[in-house]
């Protein structure tokens, strides 16, 4: 079986839920404390053994290219000033092969994945959404790779969500449990209402596919929202081969909406040695004020 070493990060969406900020700044570059969201995702890829990464971008996304290009002047300056921690923080993923691919129009996640067809060839690959952070002892991408190495089947990450929230996600209709964490899936449904939802297991921002998904995407018509939906293509793929769902039990931070982005900053801040004590004092004081 071919080792999984390639990943795609679709980052060409318009980020309308974050306007006006995202008029000029890609939402994938919004910081969590001092680090762009997409940097955490690239680090998850690296920790999971991914060596070749394609980031799908479009108009106004140049800041992502700049962020992942090494900045010689800055690095020299930090070296001369002996700011070695900072130097390390800007060099962390310099050793990865990062490619940029253009999606002509933001026609949906499925279309964004299809733009990387030449990059993927016939290799298995991971799709990592550019605004979805996952935390667990074993990185979720590594968990998917481990699952895939056992089954050889395309495998998506799912997570239990409150039933009333199913309409925000693609949701699976599970048949059987293959093991403690993996489900065989009957059907994938894009954004079902709670009444129609076949389960509470929602597709989250990590997917591992074999290259057949690209053939399916080529003939997938625009679906909900007139966008080429990845979930529709997955459902079609599932008709001719097994597709599994791997249940993620760690923590997920959706940084693509305002409230959740704020919460993510607070939670990450509480774990950062340089600011956690002051942030905690501030939150306790704020809590007292709000209680009055």
DSSP calls for the chain: -----EEEEE--S--GGGTTGGGTS-GGG-EETTEEHHHHHHHHHHHTT--EEEEEE-TT-HHHHHHTS--HHHHHHHHHTT-HHHHHHHHTTTTSEEEEEE-SS---HHHHHHTTHHHHTT--EEEE-TTEEEE-SS-HHHHHHHHHHHH-SEEEEEEE--GGGGGGSEEEEEEEESSSSEEEEEEEEES--TTT-S-SEEEEEEEEE-THHHHHHHTPPP-GGGS--HHHHHHHHHHHS-EEEEE--SEEEETTSHHHHHHHHHHHHHT-TTTHHHHHHHHHHHHHHHH-
Under the binding rule (CB under 6 A), the answer on residue 190 touching ligand UTP is: no
Under the binding rule (CB under 6 A), the answer on residue 233 touching ligand UTP is: no
Exactly one of 103, 147, 154, 255 binds ligand UTP (CB under 6 A); which one? 103
Least separation in angstroms between CB 83 and ligand UTP: 31
Under the binding rule (CB under 6 A), the answer on residue 109 touching ligand UTP is: yes
Least separation in angstroms between CB 42 and ligand UTP: 13
Stretch binding ligand UTP (CB under 6 A), from 13-21, 45-53, 90-98, 149-157: 13-21
Least separation in angstroms between CB 172 and ligand UTP: 18
Residue nearest to ligand UTP (CB): 13
Exactly one of 5, 6, 7, 10 binds ligand UTP (CB under 6 A); which one? 10
Closest to ligand UTP by CB, 12 or 140: 12
Scan residues 131-160 and list those touching ligand UTP (CB under 6 A): 131
Backbone angles phi, psi at 206, to 5 degrees: -140, 135
Under the binding rule (CB under 6 A), the answer on residue 269 touching ligand UTP is: no
Exactly one of 170, 174, 223, 256 binds ligand UTP (CB under 6 A); which one? 256
Exactly one of 17, 186, 249, 272 binds ligand UTP (CB under 6 A); which one? 17
Closest to ligand UTP by CB, 183 or 261: 261
Binding-site ranges for ligand UTP (CB under 6 A) = 10-17, 28, 56, 103, 106-109, 111-112, 129-131, 256
């Amino acid at each position: 079986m071919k080792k999984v070493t390639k990943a795609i990060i679709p980052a060409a969406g318009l980020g309308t839920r974050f306007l006006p900020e995202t008029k000029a700044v890609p939402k994938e570059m919004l910081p969590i404390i001092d680090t762009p969201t997409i940097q955490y995702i690239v680090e998850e890829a690296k920790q999971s053994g991914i060596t070749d990464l394609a980031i799908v971008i479009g108009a106004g996304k140049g800041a992502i290219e700049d962020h992942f290009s090494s900045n010689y002047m800055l690095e020299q300056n930090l070296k001369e000033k002996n700011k070695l921690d900072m130097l390390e923080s800007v060099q962390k993923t310099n050793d990865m092969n990062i490619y940029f691919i253009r999606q002509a129009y933001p026609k949906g996640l499925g279309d964004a994945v299809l733009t990387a067809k030449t990059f993927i060839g016939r290799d298995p690959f991971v799709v990592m959404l550019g605004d979805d952070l996952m935390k667990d002892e074993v990185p979720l991408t590594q968990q998917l790779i481990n699952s895939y190495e056992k089954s050889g089947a395309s495998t998506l990450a799912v997570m239990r969500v409150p039933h009333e929230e199913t309409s925000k996600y693609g949701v699976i209709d599970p048949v059987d449990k293959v093991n403690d964490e993996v489900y065989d899936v009957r059907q994938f449904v894009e954004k079902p209402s709670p009444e129609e939802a076949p389960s509470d297991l929602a597709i989250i921002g990590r997917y591992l596919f074999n290259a057949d998904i690209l053939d399916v995407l080529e003939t997938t018509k625009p679906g909900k929202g007139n966008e080429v939906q990845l979930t529709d293509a997955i459902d079609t793929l599932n008709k001719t081969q097994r597709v599994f769902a791997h249940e993620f039990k760690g923590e997920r931070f959706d940084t693509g909406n305002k409230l959740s982005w704020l919460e993510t900053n607070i939670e990450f801040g509480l774990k950062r040695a340089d600011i956690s004590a002051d942030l905690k004092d501030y939150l306790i004081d704020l809590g007292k004020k709000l209680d009055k």
